[in-house]
């Protein structure tokens, strides 16, 4: 093979490697499904959104049905308002619930939509009536530690109660 054909082949493989890196970057940034078809908008109000981010998935039964498009603060109720786009092919009942869940123990957070039993469906722009805020790991650890500190006998030194104290 000539020098020119080897250079063309190397250039081809370099270009293929760059395309692979772009693909991986889009997947890592959750941007793999840019411009995704026919959707409708839903909103949900949460007391605490934890580490939820824009572009986080919206899932039902483990299936991604949409994405978070905006996160804002309501100035009157001081709740986090999450706006999400859901594929129009998925219609959720009016009494559905939205939860902020975590993928794994320390993974990214996402919205979990649980369908209700109502015959009527949520319309574009509707607010999901029932929500459950994010579970913040630091709050759980703090509650656990404070409950252990408040337990009876937790502050007494070992053997102090049996011996009547130090003399």
Residues 8 and 57 in one domain: no
Would you state the pLDDT for residue 26?
Answer: 78
Residues 7 and 85 in one domain: no
User: How many domains are contained in the chain?
Assistant: 2
Residues 50 and 119 in one domain: yes
Residues 55 and 136 in one domain: yes
In the block, tokens 């703090």 appear at 142
Residues 77 and 8 in one domain: no
Q: Average pLDDT by consecutive 10-residue portion of the chain (167 residues)?
A: 86 93 78 65 90 90 91 91 92 91 80 89 88 76 81 57 48
Domain assignment of residue 23, given as a range: 1-32
Residues 10 and 55 in one domain: no
Q: Does 159 reside within a domain?
A: no
Would you state the pLDDT for residue 145?
Answer: 83
Q: How far apart are CA 18 and CA 30, in angstroms?
A: 18
């Amino acid at each position: 093979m000539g020098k020119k054909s080897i250079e063309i082949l190397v250039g081809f493989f370099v270009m293929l490697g760059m395309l692979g890196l772009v693909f991986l970057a889009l997947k890592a940034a959750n941007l793999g499904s840019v411009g995704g078809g026919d959707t409708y908008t839903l909103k949900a109000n949460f007391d605490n959104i934890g580490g939820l981010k824009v572009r986080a998935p919206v899932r039902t039964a483990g299936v991604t049905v949409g994405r978070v498009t905006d996160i804002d603060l309501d100035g009157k109720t001081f709740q986090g308002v999450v706006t999400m786009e859901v594929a129009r092919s998925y219609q959720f009942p009016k009494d559905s619930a939205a939860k902020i869940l975590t993928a794994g123990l320390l993974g990214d957070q996402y919205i979990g939509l649980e369908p209700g039993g109502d015959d009527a469906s949520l319309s574009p722009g509707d607010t999901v009536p029932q929500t459950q805020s994010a579970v913040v790991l630091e709050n759980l650890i703090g509650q656990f530690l404070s409950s252990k500190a408040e337990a009876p006998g937790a502050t007494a030194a070992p053997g102090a109660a049996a011996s009547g104290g130090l003399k």
